[in-house]
């Protein structure tokens, strides 16, 4: 779905975070050991995935290392998009509900959903992993039926890609009528004016004292 790439910039942060040399990379190496790394220094996602989706304690440790960093990076990336003049950004956050804190800051929540057996078979096909492993990964997240209840929009993706694309287009056309970004821009402007005024006031006071 190349035509939607502009709005889907945000699925990248987690991959960026675990790049060799990053703070999260060092923490993962310290906590999980060198056996979770490939020869080229990258995180072995298959091995780490196997480990964390079969051991809840380990998954919590990984979440502790990554989640706050992912959220900080997403806030930063979103602000950058706002400054570049974009009306909205769509953040790809599979664990939005599970990690909790970010939910209240979302203007709208879109859940892409499909029937459970389709979800399982697509995951098995994509990952090449066994049914058991895929079930464990799915079970480590909230059920789609629960997520759907908390969504402003549900995109039903059990059918063809074309049908999904049509729904995405409909959601985008509704989002384009949303004016919430002006509120955010207004708050940012006030913040900048406040900072500049404070700096000028401090400089003025200093010059009076020195004079």
Ligand X SMILES: Nc1ncnc2c1ncn2[C@@H]1O[C@H](COP(=O)(O)OP(=O)(O)OP(=O)(O)O)[C@@H](O)[C@H]1O
Q: Which residues contribute to the site for ligand X (CB under 6 A)?
A: 94, 122, 126, 157, 160-161, 164
Q: Are 108 and 178 in contact (CB under 8 A)?
A: yes
Closest contact distance (angstroms) between CB of 172 and ligand COD is 21
Q: Is 22 in the site for ligand COD (CB under 6 A)?
A: no
Q: How far from 41 is each of 22, 34, 35, 59, 82, CA to CA, in Å? A: 11, 9, 11, 21, 34
Which is nearer to ligand COD, 49 or 113 (by Cβ)? 49
Q: How far from 38 is each of 32, 43, 59, 128, CA to CA, in Å? A: 13, 6, 20, 19
Closest contact distance (angstroms) between CB of 163 and ligand X is 7
Among 141, 149, 178, 187, binds ligand COD (CB under 6 A): 141
Which is nearer to ligand COD, 41 or 94 (by Cβ)? 94
Round to whole Å and give the CA distance between 168 and 156. Answer: 10
DSSP reduced 3-state for 209:
helix
Residues binding ligand COD: number (CB under 6 A): 17
Among ligand X, ligand COD, none, residue 164 binds (CB under 5-8 Å by kind): ligand X
Which is nearer to ligand X, 26 or 139 (by Cβ)? 139
Which is nearer to ligand X, 29 or 77 (by Cβ)? 77
Window 74-113: residues binding ligand COD (CB under 6 A): 93-95
C-alpha of 117 from chain center = 25
Q: How far from 70 is each of 32, 47, 62, 151, 211, CA to CA, in Å? A: 19, 21, 12, 21, 49
Closest contact distance (angstroms) between CB of 91 and ligand X is 12
Phi, psi of 83 (to 5 degrees): -65, -30
Round to whole Å and give the CA distance between 170 and 155. Answer: 10
Closest contact distance (angstroms) between CB of 116 and ligand COD is 14
Which stretches of the chain bind ligand COD, using CB under 6 A?
Answer: 14, 18, 45, 48-49, 52, 59, 62-63, 66, 70, 93-95, 137, 140-141
């Amino acid at each position: 779905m190349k035509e939607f790439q502009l709005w889907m910039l945000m699925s990248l942060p987690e991959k960026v975070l675990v790049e060799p040399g990053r703070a999260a990379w060092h923490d993962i190496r310290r906590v999980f050991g060198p056996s979770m790394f490939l020869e080229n220094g990258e995180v072995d996602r298959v091995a780490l995935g196997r480990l964390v989706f079969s051991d809840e304690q380990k998954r919590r440790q990984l979440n502790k290392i990554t989640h706050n960093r992912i959220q900080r990076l997403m806030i930063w990336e979103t602000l950058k998009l706002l400054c570049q003049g974009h009306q909205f950004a769509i953040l790809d956050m599979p664990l939005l509900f599970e990690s909790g804190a970010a939910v209240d800051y979302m203007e709208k929540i879109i859940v892409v959903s499909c029937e459970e057996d389709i979800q399982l078979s697509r995951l098995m096909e994509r990952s090449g992993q066994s049914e058991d492993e895929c079930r464990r990964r799915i079970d480590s997240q909230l059920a789609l039926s629960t997520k759907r209840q908390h969504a402003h929009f549900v995109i039903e993706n059990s059918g063809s890609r074309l049908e999904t694309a049509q729904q995405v287009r409909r959601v985008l056309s509704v989002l384009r009528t949303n004016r919430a970004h002006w509120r955010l821009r207004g708050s940012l402007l006030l913040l900048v004016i406040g900072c500049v005024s404070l700096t000028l006031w401090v400089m003025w006071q200093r010059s009076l004292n020195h004079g």
